[in-house]
Amino acid sequence: GESVGLHLPTLSVQEGDNSIINCAYSNSASDYFIWYKQESGKGPQFIIDIRSNMDKRQGQRVTVLLNKTVKHLSLQIAATQPGDSAVYFCAENNYGQNFVFGPGTRLSVLP
């Protein structure tokens, strides 16, 4: 069949700058939100999660913010490095049911 190019949202940042990757979710009943990172040629890898009763959660160089009013999730990466170049997926989970993944955002880190 005909191949279709990737239509991912893209974000390009300079090395050392902070990155903010955004995600809109659909199910207001979801109780957990998760971020995954997928490097080229690899499977997705868990980064961080946040429960729906929280607004913010911090990990190592990453912070996830949750705005339930507008059903928006963001992933902030501090001091972005070349190794952060990847596709980032948000996913929502509804009380133990299966994950629903977003389409992903491609992050490119410029030297």
Task: Please identify, using beta-carbon distances, which residue of 104 and 107 lies nearer to another protein.
Answer: 104
- Tokens coding 68: 């339930």
Residue 55 CB, nearest approach to another protein (Å): 18
Interface residues with another protein (CB under 8 A) are: 1, 3-8, 32, 34, 41-46, 49, 89, 93, 95-99, 101-104
- Tokens coding 36: 């995954």
CA distance 34 to 101: 9
Residue 38 CB, nearest approach to another protein (Å): 8
Residue 29 CA, chain-centre distance (Å), reads: 19
75: left (phi over 0), alpha (psi -120 to 50) or beta: beta
- Tokens coding 30: 């979801």
Task: Please identify, using beta-carbon distances, which residue of 4 and 29 lies nearer to another protein.
Answer: 4
Residue 49 CB, nearest approach to another protein (Å): 4
Task: Please identify, using beta-carbon distances, which residue of 17 and 55 lies nearer to another protein.
Answer: 55
